[in-house]
A and B are shown apart, each in its own frame.
Chain A
């Protein structure tokens, strides 16, 4: 069960090898979470993340392989995640892949794959997660969105629009869950220095996975629907949102 501060005892992470997910698990386990299920694609990465969770103090850690390209299996993955611990207090969806749009935009198959991994699979999984949380009468989902989805920009619009879809879906699901005891928190990190962004140049307001994790934990505790990380992203994107499209297109973002 979640405690009075909204912090969980059991956690299911979909996309458990991502740097943000790993930092979040470390922080949650440090704060008292005991049961962790890590689902992901890369078996070696999962094993390393599992060791890390045990080291941080988790009593029970299980791993679960899945492929986010396989939409038909999304519900089954969620079901196995729930049955591994019985009751899940917090589900984290950290599934996603950054695509290099310049090359991808001319390749329909890659566009489809980007949308599948970043939107379709998470949306299907969320639908099944919502079913379980309704049945439990309690629980929270943290969905990793991105500022890239807040106002989609020319330089990564395939990824950005998939995240925009997920962001809207997750926030609407939170409204749909009102009164069920369950809720959704959408996280919008800025540029995160992690293995997903390896090799990319330094960006303004860059954050570390640890900083995002700590913002997420604060957001969970205050029951926020949307968490910006860093929080300065919120006013910045408010202003950016007001720019006329021709100006927005020409900005070097």
Chain B
């Protein structure tokens, strides 16, 4: 053990070190950024091969600092947070890619124990073999279990099933005050702080997840085309009562009476009986492996007002006014996975995603937001609208009952940053908030208004991490990490 690291490591985990400490994992200095490719920062990336003593061995592998700056440590999965959640400038980033074990799925309860680095893609492929699907699925399968819990991700079934952590029965957490096994009934305070806690309560190493039984890997989907925002929102309210899954794509380029026009998809898992004959032979066929990749040479500024409105027009026309079909769950849930590195299309400056939620009584904020960005001259490449059911008890968990809109916005237009600051005011004024897993720009004053239970979260942090060792660029930026350098 390096001499200078001794003091720190001793504080960190006495238990982990007294046990058989795993061999020092590989580490390298790397520049990291989120999926939006904004605000890169450099850190020492440590890649442990074993879930035991992850935190202690990461600190050892990172070697001694000169003591002037508390280094900070955060876990990172597949890097799908859009902003700076899974980076820690000047500190240590624990890459969980080698923590990939998937246990056996309990044939009765559907519970499965998985390592934090397992992707939803891997878990759903393993599950489908015996007819189990992941309980909550975001727009991509390329998310790890650790990330899914840390961001308390939601999917098209939030109105029916809640967010991911509502389906997690236990989490194994490595904190500077030792290992903890927490769940809704075991230290619920720490469990719920971890749900949506963006990794700032400890390194998630393992979890038990309850899977959903399905007969097929196919979806029965109803599609509706709506020519204006009111009709689209009314449509979402209507279909939510009868469908487990629903989502709307919104054309943010349309103006006037067509403002907020869009296409609504609603559906549920198809039963074996609902499958057409040609699908019935292999009802649980896994998603196809993606083939497309964006080449390294992308012309600059291809995401501009012109291309964006042409793309949206085409997309809108593609959707027929009303149809029912059987679609594979891959295409239904994970349209973004069709092209592996689509984020490169946004060029060197990248893009931000602004996802917010407001309560039902503030539905007017949705068209207002679209209009504000139009007036600011900031084109929105992709917009997704959905309804949330009630949130879970996590103090930093994003969902609250109401409407959520996610907007993909290329960085570049001068009006974008000020428009988003004004939008923050409107969203906060409506009692809403923005989603930390997508955020790359929220300021601390606004964050504490949007997340009024921050104090509660910080109290839990002080219990498991009194020295404030767990840090991320996001946590420093929005002020979750107190007294962080």
Residues of A near any B CB (own CB < 8 A): 1-7, 9, 31-32, 34, 86-87, 134-138, 179-182, 218, 221-223
A244 to chain B, nearest CB (A): 36
Residue in A31, A135, A218 whose beta carbon sits within 8 Å of that of B90 in the complex:
A135
Query: Is the Cβ of A3 less than 8 Å from the Cβ of B485?
Result: no
Per the bound structure, the CA–CA distance linking A218 and B413 in Å amounts to 11
B473 interface contact, C-beta 8 A: yes
**Cross-chain contact B440 with A3 (CB below 8 angstroms):** yes
Residues of B within 8 A of A32 (CB): 421, 443
A4 touches B485 (CB 8 A): no
Do B42 and A179 touch (CB < 8 A)?
A: yes
Interface size on B, residues (CB 8 A): 37
Rounded to whole Å, the gap between the CB of A6 and the closest CB of chain B is: 7
Cβ–Cβ contact A5 & B42, under 8 A = no
Question: A181 to B42, Cβ gap below 8 A?
Answer: yes
Asked whether, in the complex, the Cβ of A87 is within 8 Å of the Cβ of B38, the reply is no
Instruction: Check if A179 sits within 8 Å of B90, measured CB to CB.
Output: no
Stretch of B140-148, B328-336, B347-355 lying at the A interface? B347-355
- B240: interface (CB < 8 Å): no
**Which residue of chain A is the closest to B418 with respect to CB atoms?**
A31
Chain B nearest CB, measured from A210 CB (Å): 16
| Beyond A6-B38, A179-B29, 4 extra complex contacts between A and B, CB < 8 Å | A1-B89, A87-B69, A87-B476, A138-B473
**8 closest pairs, A vs B, by CB?**
A181-B42, A4-B440, A137-B90, A137-B89, A4-B38, A138-B89, A138-B41, A1-B477
The one of B36, B42, B68, B348 that contacts A138, using a Cβ cutoff of 8 Å: B42
A4 with B473: CB separation less than 8 A:
no
Min Cβ gap B80→A in Å is: 16
Docked CA distance A32–B445 (Å): 10
List A contacts of B65 (CB < 8 A).
135
Contact present for B39 and A6 (CB under 8 Å): yes
B267 in the interface (beta carbon within 8 A): no
Flag whether B283 is at the interface (Cβ < 8 A): no
Q: Which residue of B lies closest to A182 (CB)?
A: B42
Tell me if B468 counts as interface (CB < 8 A to partner A).
no
- 17 CB contacts below 8 A, A to B, read A2-B39, A4-B36, A4-B39, A5-B411, A5-B416, A5-B441, A6-B39, A9-B477, A86-B484, A137-B88, A138-B40, A179-B29, A179-B42, A180-B31, A181-B31, A181-B43, A181-B89
| Contact partner, B417, options A7, A179, A223, Cβ 8 Å | A7
Consensus secondary structure, chain A interface: loop
The reply to whether B31 and A179 form a contact with Cβ atoms under 8 Å apart is yes
Given contacts A6-B39, A136-B89, A137-B41, contact A1 B349 (CB under 8 A): no
Smallest Cβ-Cβ distance to A218: which chain B residue: B414
Q: Is B349 in contact with A223, judged by CB distance below 8 angstroms?
A: yes
Q: Are A136 and B69 in contact (CB under 8 A)?
A: yes
- Complex interface: chain A residues within 8 A of B411 (CB): 4-5
- Cβ of A177 to closest chain B Cβ, rounded Å: 10
Could you say which residues of chain A place their CB within 8 Å of the CB of B465?
A: none
- Please tell me if the beta carbons of B91 and A137 are within 8 angstroms of each other in the complex: yes
Minimum distance in angstroms from A151 CB to a CB of chain B: 29
Q: Pick the residue among A86, A138, A182, A222 that contacts B349 (CB under 8 A).
A: A222
* Chain B CB within 10 A, most for which of A134, A135, A137, A222: A137
B174 within 8 A of A: no
Tell whether B152 is near chain A: CB-to-CB under 8 Å: no
Chain A residue, CB-CB nearest to B414: A218
B91 CB contacts on chain A under 8 angstroms: 137
Docked CA distance A222–B476 (Å)? 23
Report how far A22 CA is from B408 CA in the complex, Å.
35
Please encode chain B, from 60 to 78, with 1 for each CB lying within 8 Å of some chain A CB and 0 for all others: 0000011011000000000
Question: Closest CB of chain A to B440's CB: distance in Å?
Answer: 3
Q: Which residues of B contact A223 (CB under 8 A)?
A: 348-349
Considering only CB atoms, which chain B residue lies closest to A183 in the complex? B40
B84 interface residue, CB < 8 Å from A? yes
> How far does the alpha carbon of A4 sit from the alpha carbon of B477 in the complex, in Å?
11
**Would B90 and A138 count as touching, CB distance under 8 A?**
yes
B62 CB to nearest A CB, Å: 12
Query: For the complex, what is the distance from the CA of A17 to the CA of B345, rounded to whole Å?
Result: 42
Expressed in whole angstroms, the Cα–Cα distance for A105 and B69 within the complex equals: 46
Q: Which residues of A contact B40 (CB under 8 A)?
A: 138, 181
Q: Could you tell me the distance between the alpha carbons of A33 and B458 in the complex, rounded to whole angstroms?
A: 24
- Nearest-neighbour CB distance to chain B for A76, whole angstroms, equals 14
